[in-house]
Amino acid sequence: MKNFGSVPWYEDPEGNQSPIGSILESVNIDSGIGTDATPAVTIEITLIGNQHDGRITLTYQRVRTYSMEGFALNDVAGNTWTEDKLDLRKTNSLTHKVTLTSGSLLIEADDVEYHWEPL
């Protein structure tokens, strides 16, 4: 999805398929150990949609670097996704910087897949 500038969920931050306003459900990090000589890290983030009518899954492929801070278990806003910024780097990877009500994510990966599923 390197052409994220034309992706409806990114262009319409108030739409029901946007991560903005969604609640973080889970974060899975797969190190790929044992699958190849050079493991490929994959990060999958699952969100409950901002209108609670769907589930969003973002899968970051071939993650180069990442940092995660916060994620308070007692966040009354449920670790809500408040803003994000996607950038394409000169290295042909992308960075996704995300701010949550109680934390933040920064992921640099070769690509990210987006999936929205109605509940």
Note the pLDDT tens digit of each residue in 89-114. Answer: 888 899 999 999 988 999 999 999 99
pLDDT band at 5, cuts 50/70/90? very low
What percentage of the chain reaches a pLDDT higher than 70?
A: 85
Supply the range of the domain harboring residue 32.
4-118
Tokens of 37: 């000589």
Q: What is the pTM of this model?
A: 0.86
Q: How many domains does the chain have?
A: 1
Tell me the average pLDDT across 8-35. 82
Query: Assign residue 102 a region: left if phi > 0, alpha if psi is -120 to 50, beta otherwise?
Result: alpha
E strand residue ranges, 6-75: 23-30, 41-48, 54-70
Half-sphere exposure at residue 48, Cβ-oriented, CA atoms within 13 angstroms: 9
Whole-number pLDDT of residue 40: 85
Whole-number pLDDT of residue 13: 74
Higher pLDDT, 30 or 70: 30
Residue 9 has pLDDT above 70, yes or no: no
